[in-house]
Structure 1
């Protein structure tokens, strides 16, 4: 595996999906459908290439352990649209504003999951 590939999220296949399927007239629900497809493809790429999550030092148990893979979030997808020149800066700002309103109304996080009480993000020992 090439150096740094364990941390790669935007493989060429994901860029192609985004370029092929993105449409500015999509609803936020459709954005999440696209995010889901991107994550499914990303997970398949990681499986096919036998990519393991990066190692981390756990201050709790004082051991090196595998961390978790990151997923594509809705905001990551929006920033990728700008990065891959599929939208202009003004449109990115509009997407982020609309997302912020929608997330508050629906009480969901950037992965489309219901927000609950603050959970410990990296507590892998529970």
Structure 2
């Protein structure tokens, strides 16, 4: 389980992008608040952040020609077996970029290292390492 650094979404290979969609669906559904070391930070923020992140994944999928069920574009949708959550509000959306403050340069490097261990090498120019929230 992992949410890739937000700036990698547009560069992810097919398998990782589709996996990211499944991960977002799971976290928005019954996986919400279920601890896992690589995604625990997600639960420290409103679920609306996850929705915003998921929409970036969905946009990239659609750009590549993949179909995404329209229900996942609804803020309150949490999956077939859960009621739609009424507490969620667009008032809790963040305007920070990246969405999650944990998506620092250090986390980006960690994600790139993880991908390279899988034999996936993403060309990510140093000039894009401008988040710099590590200091």
Q: State whether TM-score is above 0.5.
A: no
Give TM-score, length-normalised by structure 1: 0.29
Higher relative contact order (CA 8 A, sep 6+): 2
Give TM-score, length-normalised by structure 2: 0.28
- Which has a greater percent of strand? 1
- Which has more radius of gyration? 1
